Structure 1
């Protein structure tokens, strides 16, 4: 029927067969005479009181079946836009309360500090009373953070909070405050000790300055403890990381010499057997990977290299039995061009943007590759953000 919602569009609104859009509608919902949404079999009651105002989630009204279908449709649609097809496996969804890193906003308003995500399409902050995506450990620090920040927050100014679960506890980087003097140092120490903070750094505008770190902060990747630079990139959930690592291992197969491009801290490089070349432009990340691999005796050659400006050329790619790509949202067009001209037997492409992934795959397919399979991964639960891993071969 023309009034029935048949799919969910990329930004999260429901769409009918005749192209009408409705906010917060799920497949199987119907539209009433006044355009109101009448819930159907896949429309669940959002678990969080802050939905839909909070910008941390856009799809809490979808049940798991329709959310998984949304993830699949995003990838299929991006591939279709490039006239490509592929076997898309069932999505692997991270459970609620599994996000181990987050960036929150803080502001002083009406005499109290508010901490949370910004509202959808707004700069207003939703002051979190509950959260169904953050781990319980991360969310537990929000309440004491309000009291801690109150002494330094200034009216009209905001702070940005980067929280990450690490091997030693919680890593916290605060941007946008100044906390100087003996009293500040004592308050930082007391807060960190009381709340399981492994490292507390403050960035007043000149870069992060560590104010508390009793032992070096690490994150374990592939069984190897790796030093974690403040606010460094890390897969959002442990479940998502495990799903992507498993897909990369499957895609690489028995290749004994592998290139991991855009390697970051080594999520994949340290999880692969054999010899691994790891290329990464972020200096802190590649130095951390190099040190961690050396301490663990892993055969990883870490190279500080900007793969946008200086991609591996086709002849360099030919040295490897497989290549892993995990670029940022912009994709890896320059590197895809070189890979398309190479003879690498297998490519495993990990992406956080189906559109740039499909664009790069079109380049690779024009060069003679085919997409063997795509594994969707929904680690940003209830958001429109979609990740995937795909294998391409000649």
Structure 2
């Protein structure tokens, strides 16, 4: 370990400040561009010891658990609470701009659709039983240490106000001192808790969880590794007014506000399309909204998510025809010949993107495409494939739903 003084030049893709020296980039968490700091250095990472010049864009973090001085350690849930809104919003938008530029794409990128505190309807906590208590929170960066949280400004009031109830259920389920995860989703009928990684659950834990949940209010379902342990109320979320009961631990957007913003962009783009394919459809975030205006074909590899979508569509009023298809689009994308019946295609893949599917889309005659992505790098790659196939990017909109992190969503629209 060596000590030195450095000046931060920019923020990196992970949210750390970056100083550039003879040995290449040096990553310094919790710093901002323009700051001069004394650091303790280990290889290409630095820990701030003191600050000689602070950025005027530095603000007081709103959470007591944030940063190197955070209560119970440095919570890894956020990385940029110390940045002003102006700097933070510009940084998020620039992540998309730079990813596109790396692929030679220079479309107009709209201002960031911002996220606000208290909007997160889905949070993933880490938990672990100790001799004294049940720890519930987020891991410290690059560590297995769990920062036990008492507040969380990004979480919805419906989740944050029930932290003790979530702890109680986790404590009833825990069988040893190994850490495990719980995804908490706020639904219209209560909290949906999906646990993963608890070892050797027996009848005693199942009874304890049942007794605990029945003594509480506002818990819709508790599951472990996809198995429902107790479900006092069927969890329900709404996609454009259509009620859906997602599978245990199933994917949903992190905030309702971002979901609505993305859906509005998609629906506006497809316009008066008569028949639309929604690829990587999940439980119907876009498909069930699209079905209010067009015949919709939803394609998804996760059978449980697809069943939830199909059930919702069958029991909803006023929708156009909705067909579903279970298909691994990574291994078996819809071919150009299959795509010719659609006026528009929407795709929202995991972080790996939709490379093979985009190669088929590029060969197709589909007039309009809406690409939704949680990874600017793979989005840029996929868009470059489509542009090479004759598509024109009409708009790119970055959308924030992971407040104070380095993750950003984007919706790109294309025409041929």
2:219 is the alignment partner of 1:197: yes
Paired position in structure 2 for 1:311:
333
2:141 is the alignment partner of 1:124: no
TM-aligned CA distance change 1:169 to 1:72, over 3 Å:
same
* Post-superposition offset of 1:193: 4.7
Is contact 2:124–2:182 with CA below 8 Å preserved after alignment? yes
Where do 1:121-200 residues align within 5 Å?
121-175=142-196, 176=198, 180-181=202-203, 184-185=206-207, 188-200=210-222
Match of 2:55, SS state, is coil
Is contact 2:227–2:248 with CA below 8 Å preserved after alignment? no
Paired position in structure 2 for 1:252:
270
* CA distance in structure 2 between the partners assigned to 1:98 and 1:116 by the alignment: 18
Is contact 2:165–2:216 with CA below 8 Å preserved after alignment? no
Where do 1:226-245 residues align within 5 Å?
226-245=244-263
* CA distance in structure 2 between the partners assigned to 1:77 and 1:10 by the alignment: 10
Equivalenced residues, count? 387
* CA distance in structure 2 between the partners assigned to 1:235 and 1:158 by the alignment: 25
Match of 1:85, SS state, is coil
Paired position in structure 2 for 1:217:
235
Is contact 1:226–1:289 with CA below 8 Å preserved after alignment? yes
Worse-matched range after superposition: 30-39 or 171-180: 30-39
* CA distance in structure 2 between the partners assigned to 1:116 and 1:389 by the alignment: 31
Worse-matched range after superposition: 53-62 or 187-196: 187-196
**Structure 2 residue corresponding to 1:40, chosen from 32, 47, 55:** 55
Is contact 2:169–2:212 with CA below 8 Å preserved after alignment? no
2:15 is the alignment partner of 1:24: no
Alignment gaps of 5+ in structure 2:
1-5, 40-47, 68-73
Is contact 2:124–2:184 with CA below 8 Å preserved after alignment? yes
TM-aligned CA distance change 1:66 to 1:17, over 3 Å:
farther
* CA distance in structure 2 between the partners assigned to 1:15 and 1:141 by the alignment: 38
Is contact 2:62–2:153 with CA below 8 Å preserved after alignment? yes
TM-score, normalised on structure 2? 0.87
* Post-superposition offset of 1:190: 4.2
Match of 2:413, SS state, is strand
* CA distance in structure 2 between the partners assigned to 1:153 and 1:24 by the alignment: 34
Paired position in structure 1 for 2:88:
67
* CA distance in structure 2 between the partners assigned to 1:183 and 1:85 by the alignment: 55
Alignment gaps of 5+ in structure 1:
none
* Post-superposition offset of 1:150: 3.4
Paired position in structure 2 for 1:285:
305
* CA distance in structure 2 between the partners assigned to 1:321 and 1:198 by the alignment: 39
TM-aligned CA distance change 1:122 to 1:20, over 3 Å:
closer
Where do 1:256-335 residues align within 5 Å?
256-272=274-290, 273-297=293-317, 298=319, 299-335=321-357
* Post-superposition offset of 1:283: 0.2
* CA distance in structure 1 between the partners assigned to 2:180 and 2:142 by the alignment: 19
* CA distance in structure 2 between the partners assigned to 1:114 and 1:186 by the alignment: 18
* Post-superposition offset of 1:23: 2.6
Worse-matched range after superposition: 84-93 or 39-48: 39-48
TM-score, normalised on structure 1? 0.92
Paired position in structure 1 for 2:374:
352
TM-aligned CA distance change 1:254 to 1:182, over 3 Å:
same
Paired position in structure 1 for 2:79:
58
Is contact 1:374–1:389 with CA below 8 Å preserved after alignment? yes
**Structure 1 residue corresponding to 2:124, chosen from 83, 103, 111:** 103
**Structure 1 residue corresponding to 2:409, chosen from 384, 387, 391:** 387
* CA distance in structure 2 between the partners assigned to 1:100 and 1:20 by the alignment: 35
Is contact 2:173–2:209 with CA below 8 Å preserved after alignment? no
RMSD: 2.2
* Post-superposition offset of 1:107: 0.8
